[in-house]
Structure 1
């Protein structure tokens, strides 16, 4: 049986966690701070639990330089998939309040029971309410489809669709191989959208935005809509230009911690929500209260029973990151991530006749390196996975929807582990082609 030190796990999630964090967590699970109780047994209403949650939120804000006066960090449940719905409910609610304020300022009654106000608001909803989506992979496609399901297709605008891109390397249409050129987005952005949504890193397809999309920078006058991003698989791997976002969210199980908690960072001005009666009068969906950011924020992320043990693990990961990069913080981790990705891609590119990296170079993810071998030969890919596993390189099988190989290069993958994978990629190609 292999030891933990002999394994380099490249699975996409739940992902590898630092060994020292797990060792502390193991002790905490049995007897936390000599209380005689394990951390999972303590009440989430206890001061002990409140401290863990408070510190985790503060440390995340510190690592990402989140301006606390303008943004709220909240911890909740539901995963990234739950956030597909949560962002819709919360951002549509914020949009309704914004339009309500405009109408009251124009002279309409400041009364949700006013038939005149409701009629004018309903006209606004019918004529102007839109959600904009940029689809670049499997997860943003799921988010787009959830928006259509909750609001109806007529309220959801597809700004860009990577499925229509052509992979010129192969000369055929290739699903999610590239990010559509931003020059094609601008004319498609809605004039008064409740939000514009994109996935910063597509875990399944290996596509990552190299930077915040210039076409969405608020100061450039491209869109007035709050920008919302799913950062589930690349959070904490590079700095985030927080002020460009209305909100961003991420599941913990890639770079932050264990499965079970989700984090959202949202602009405070977007927190207030309209009453359920007003939404009902406007024929808009009313979201579950456990997904309402305003409620979660007012209760310091403890509105309902939160998994404090999972928050503790995330908090320990954050403390380790802050200790590792006390000055550069996320920029320090970015340098490491880029060095690791560079050597893995270099090994693949050295045998471009044998390995085919799924996305084009400009869209390659540093976190999820997706590729096919020998034209997608199932036997050869199976041999690659088997031989890699024998060397302690595990978790390399591609997502079930796309097949092939996927090496997830999350923060917990060491530079030595990345080097070992790169060396195996090179050796396997030479041996198989010989």
Structure 2
């Protein structure tokens, strides 16, 4: 039976990527060695790292614009700390749209004052706050583009007088926009780019070196840029599979092409949620994520039946996060439209047989 993987992360990846990556475990680049055992200082892996850093900038349209790409460890959670370590001199402005931005705020408070410009916590993060002003006396503005747990997504970003930092962990490479609006972007790989174990950071070099505190080497973006992501042993396999995924994305036509496919998938599922009387969406309609659709049953007595039908259809990973309950269908880049069609068919069948 074909499994339809709606897991929020680690996420679905393209089958072509799995095939090439699995071959590399046995014999990488005809070297007779596994990608898991080659030296990270070898020519083979240095070439992988260089290409991964280069193609990430190319996909975002940021090459030759003063940006550097680095692959780090510790997930986005480490970036909550590193952003503040490197950028927060006195005060940071944060938009609070969910669990991850709340955690970022907590870490930033260790380094200076935090101004939460607006929050959607009053309605359990079911919408994106609007109509806020970013103060001019802050060092930077931080936001989270997509909220995996609650299923909200920022559709517009403010014109900020200060550098803009964005956590794009769960929607990077999924939609086209002017990425030069951002001064620093970070994303854990395991949501939409690769396996768990590495984090992509895109940073404008002119942003760095302005805080007066001493920064430990492992926490210093400048050190990692200078060492070309090789300051310490990098997560070789995670970087390699992320490279394969980015090459796959480029072969699909890049971000613009994948955005069209993502929009079709999201439109199909949200249409069913809206017309099917057994279901209701969790988030505000205008803030719905194209990556993570959150929804609930109107009648919880149908849960056992719906869960059983999903299992029979090979649908995996749609249980909602404990913070929200209900269901969450994550529709990352590699998820085929066919999988969404199967889920919609099951939802329709439930209505007919309820």
Larger Rg: 1
1:249 match: secondary structure: strand
CA distance in 1, matches of 2:284, 2:23: 45
The correspondence for 1:356, drawn from 280, 287, 301, is 280
**TM-score, normalization by structure 1:** 0.79
2:190 match: secondary structure: coil
Structure 2's unaligned 5+ residue stretches are none
The runs of at least 4 aligned residues of structure 1 exceeding 6 Å deviation read none
**Aligned match of 1:416:** 338
2:26 corresponds to 1:30 = yes
**Aligned match of 1:238:** 175
**Aligned match of 2:8:** 12
CA distance in 2, matches of 1:179, 1:324: 31
CA distance in 2, matches of 1:83, 1:383: 41
Superposed counterparts of 1:307-386, under 5 Å: 307-325=235-253, 329-351=254-276, 353-374=277-298, 377=300, 379-386=301-308
Q: Aligned pair in 2 of structure 1 residues 311, 191: CA closer, same or farther (>3 Å)? A: same
2:165 corresponds to 1:228 = yes
| CA displacement, residues 287-339 of structure 1 (integer Å, 9 cap, x when unaligned) | 542231111111111111111111111111111111110xxx21111110000
CA distance in 2, matches of 1:290, 1:381: 47
**Aligned match of 2:108:** 147
2:144 corresponds to 1:199 = yes
CA distance in 1, matches of 2:305, 2:103: 32
| CA displacement, residues 356-413 of structure 1 (integer Å, 9 cap, x when unaligned) | 21111101000000011125x2x53343233212111111111122221000010111
**Aligned match of 1:159:** 117
**Aligned match of 2:129:** 180
CA distance in 2, matches of 1:34, 1:340: 39
CA distance in 1, matches of 2:304, 2:154: 30
Structure 1's unaligned 5+ residue stretches are 97-128, 165-173, 218-222, 280-285
**Aligned match of 2:226:** 298
Does the aligned pair in 1 maintain the 2:164–2:183 contact within 8 Å?
yes
The total of aligned residue pairs comes to 354
CA distance in 1, matches of 2:101, 2:54: 29
Does the aligned pair in 2 maintain the 1:385–1:396 contact within 8 Å?
no
Greater share of helix: 1
2:36 match: secondary structure: helix
CA RMSD of aligned residues (A): 1.5
| CA displacement, residues 234-258 of structure 1 (integer Å, 9 cap, x when unaligned) | 1111124222111011011121111
**TM-score, normalization by structure 2:** 0.96
